[in-house]
Structure 1
Amino acid sequence: MSQLNYNSDSLGKGDAAARSATKQRRRRLAFIIAAVIVIIGLGLGLGLGLGLRKGDDDDDGDDGDDTTDDGTDRGANRTTMWNPSVGDSWQIILLKPLDTSVDLEPDVEVYDLDLFNNEATVFDDLHAKNKKVICYFSAGSWENWRDDKDKFEDSDLGSTLDGWPDEKWLKLSSDNVRSIMAERIKLASRKGCDAIDPDNVDGYENDNGLGLTEEDSIDFMKFLSEEAAKYNMSTGLKNAGSIIDRSLPYVAFSVNEQCGEHDECETFEAFIEDKKPVFRIEYPKEDLTDEARIAAVSKQRCDAAGASAFSTVLKNMNLDGWVEYCDGDTYDTSIVS
């Protein structure tokens, strides 16, 4: 009996142990399954989250920071830097976008156009016609009509430009100003510009309200040219005759206004001596209405001392589509009204 009871007890204890072991195995299996489900869920959630965030970035377009409107980064495959040659013919239009839907006149080698006004397709059309594109923007002044005007800080702004009530001089050493200009240069590359024409870098010559010096402008030109070089774009120096010698190593050409009127063209011959062109603008019609006087002023400006090798255009002050060359040929390039 006792043996039977013992055997019965042993069998009972064995069944209990077996049941306990089975329950433990089931609990471990359940735990493993739950853990796997959690891991899979986390992985799916992370992937979905990344996908949504990427989708959000794509939807926002990152304010156009990576591509132009049609999704193309036109500067991505640019492997060499364009350096214009002395004597290259040109036209400059800043008032309105260029109209490339009609025959293009004049048949010049270089067009200097506003970076913001013109769509990238305009530059595409010019490149298809074997033209080069210089993209203009104001690097040294704040303009109250630009899309990025609110990115500037109050401390970046100086005095109002004389004759331009909607513009103020910029603090050229400001990290914020330089960041904004770097974005503009990046935009120029994306749009397919071959070079940049940064205006108003001569604040030191004016009542700027910021204490700007020649050294500020020289350092700023170095910064701008180095940024443009990242995208294999060249840079021009706008006016600023007194800093030519120290800026020449960083720039590939000059864009000059009115050296004939101010009898200072010889100052800009340093570019020609360095085998770099001077793209020169004169405004003979300013304050003149008599055709004979305008013609006389035009000839005087064209024949200015030291300017014989310059690429000279006679323009209206508003830089619309009208242009006259020193050989007397005139054109009215079509612009979008």
Structure 2
Amino acid sequence: MAALLTMLLLGPLPGCREPIVPPGAPTPWPKALARHWQWQWQLAGPLDVTADADVFLLDPVRTTSTETTALRARDRRLVCQVHVGSYATTDPDADRFPADIRGTPVVGRPGSRWLDVRRWDVIGPVLADRFRLCRGKGFGAVALDDADAYLHRSGFPLSFDDQLLFNRRVARLARSLDLSPGLIDDVPQVAALAPDFDFAVNQECVRRRECAKLLPFADAHKPVFHVEYTGDPAAFCVTTVGYGFASILKDRTLDAWRDPCPLP
């Protein structure tokens, strides 16, 4: 197993219109390219490795090493999506979460439940192993999903500060394992967390009328990967590209189809 992990780690990391990053380094996000990314978010259906995108946000469990190798050979940046504040009964490591830290069901995702993010002693080691899986498959960055349990009826009295501490801990953990950390949603904490994360992933800031709250990332020349599930790109791209976001229209199933906003 150790030999296999070493082989997986020795391959080149994804790049974007520049030389491939040396092995062992997390994915960089050069300021000069801050407004020039195209991205793909695919969690369902056969993976389209030929999509015209620089950055791919993928499920590290269902994505195979063969697929990541094909993408890395084309100099693509790979971001793994990891649920950090919840678990699903179908997760291979679900039994590592004891009953006392399992909360209420996640709305809209049968079989998923929130976790008590105050229990870093339990959750931290599990996330470390999930991040090692990402690294071993060739991902250079990780996007933290369900990093906003305090906004939901999680079953625990989680505060804004509880979540802030947890998210910062997860970002530090990712960096310690040579992964660039990114934040999915959690818009109310963007201003506080932007210094701790390298990029943001946002869903429907146009529909929710909260795109301006993501400017702490854009103003720091950090990528904002944005998706809308409804609306006309010809209309919302004017707003989001103006902010400096990389925007796409997708189906909520997050299959291979995408309609990207043009680059500025």
TM-score (norm 2): 0.86
The Cα shift of 1:304 comes to: 3.6
Q: Residue type of the partner of 2:162?
A: D
Q: Does 1:170 align with 2:118?
A: no
| Conservation of the 8 A alpha-carbon contact between 1:253 and 1:271 | yes
| Conservation of the 8 A alpha-carbon contact between 1:204 and 1:214 | yes
1:283 is matched with which residue: 215, 229, 241? 229
Q: Per residue, is there more helix in 1 or in 2?
A: 1
2:155 is matched with which residue: 206, 209, 212? 209
Q: Residue type of the partner of 2:222?
A: K
| Conservation of the 8 A alpha-carbon contact between 1:228 and 1:235 | yes
The residue that corresponds to 1:233 in the other structure is 179
Percent identical pairs in the alignment equals 25
SS in 1 for 2:208: coil
The Cα shift of 1:80 comes to: 2.8
1:245 is matched with which residue: 183, 187, 191? 191
Offset from partner CA, 1:290-317 (integer Å, 9 cap, x none): xxxx54xx43433346853100011100
Q: Does 1:301 align with 2:246?
A: no
The Cα shift of 1:270 comes to: 1.0
The residue that corresponds to 2:102 in the other structure is 157
Provide the C-alpha distance between the structure 2 equivalents of 1:222 and 1:168, rounded to a whole number of angstroms: 21
Provide the C-alpha distance between the structure 2 equivalents of 1:204 and 1:312, rounded to a whole number of angstroms: 27
Q: How does 1:26-105 map to 2 (within 5 A)?
A: 61=1, 66=2, 72-74=7-9, 78-84=23-29, 85-87=33-35, 88-96=37-45, 98-100=47-49, 104-105=50-51
The residue that corresponds to 1:326 in the other structure is 261
Q: Does 1:262 align with 2:208?
A: yes
Relative contact order, higher structure (CA 8 A, sep 6+): 2
| Conservation of the 8 A alpha-carbon contact between 2:215 and 2:243 | no
Provide the C-alpha distance between the structure 1 equivalents of 2:3 and 2:163, rounded to a whole number of angstroms: 30
Provide the C-alpha distance between the structure 1 equivalents of 2:258 and 2:10, rounded to a whole number of angstroms: 30
**Pair member with larger Rg:** 1
Offset from partner CA, 1:119-148 (integer Å, 9 cap, x none): 122111111101110011211111121111
1:145 is matched with which residue: 77, 87, 90? 90
SS in 2 for 1:201: coil
The Cα shift of 1:257 comes to: 0.5
Offset from partner CA, 1:228-269 (integer Å, 9 cap, x none): 212321000111111112212221000000101100000001
The residue that corresponds to 1:314 in the other structure is 249
| Runs of at least 5 residues in structure 1 that lack an aligned partner in the other structure | 1-60, 285-293, 329-337
Provide the C-alpha distance between the structure 2 equivalents of 1:247 and 1:67, rounded to a whole number of angstroms: 37
1:194 is matched with which residue: 140, 144, 169? 140
SS in 1 for 2:206: coil
Q: Residue type of the partner of 1:86?
A: A
Provide the C-alpha distance between the structure 1 equivalents of 2:215 and 2:241, rounded to a whole number of angstroms: 6
- Structure 2 vs 1, CA of residues 276 and 67 (structure 1 numbering), >3 Å: closer, same or farther? farther
Provide the C-alpha distance between the structure 1 equivalents of 2:147 and 2:3, rounded to a whole number of angstroms: 28
SS in 2 for 1:261: helix
Offset from partner CA, 1:17-36 (integer Å, 9 cap, x none): xxxxxxxxxxxxxxxxxxxx
SS in 2 for 1:192: coil
- Structure 2 vs 1, CA of residues 316 and 244 (structure 1 numbering), >3 Å: closer, same or farther? same
Provide the C-alpha distance between the structure 2 equivalents of 1:311 and 1:137, rounded to a whole number of angstroms: 21
RMSD of aligned residue pairs (Cα, Å): 2.2
Provide the C-alpha distance between the structure 2 equivalents of 1:78 and 1:211, rounded to a whole number of angstroms: 42
| Runs of at least 5 residues in structure 2 that lack an aligned partner in the other structure | 12-21
TM-score (norm 1): 0.68
Number of residues paired by the alignment?
248
Offset from partner CA, 1:204-230 (integer Å, 9 cap, x none): 111111112222222122222212212
The residue that corresponds to 2:165 in the other structure is 219
Q: Residue type of the partner of 1:311?
A: A
